[in-house]
Amino acid sequence: MPLYEYAVLNPDGSHGEPFEVLQRIGEPALTKHPQTGEAVERLISAASVPRPPADRIKGDISNKSLEKQGFTKYQKTKTGQYEKVLGDGPDLIKKEDHV
């Protein structure tokens, strides 16, 4: 079930205190606060899609793992250029290369 975000509607039409409600997708949007009865409006917010624990990244990803998955990694040098650490692509990227 999705977690929806709502806000209390103030008398002047602005949003008041936000709160979240777990609802089925097919349920209609709330029009009143479940506890106080105040008018509410459903807010549009970023979706939160949980990932299975096995897919979550824990700590830093090793260079070996990145290269195995086909990534290219660059590291910024003291001069502001980027040197390739692993993968395909140019060995060095300078600012004037992307003008």
Residue 82 counted as domain residue: yes
34 in a structural domain:
yes
Say how many Å lie between the first and final Cα of the chain, rounded.
47
pLDDT confidence of residue 58:
59
Cβ atoms of 2 and 23 closer than 8 Å: yes
Q: Does residue 11 fall inside a structural domain? A: yes
55: in domain? no
SS3 category, 55: helix
**What domain range includes position 33?**
3-42
In a domain, 28, yes or no: yes
Domain-embedded: residue 49 = no
Of residues 5 and 54, the one with the higher pLDDT is 5
Domain count, the chain: 2
Q: Is the pLDDT of residue 11 over 90?
A: yes
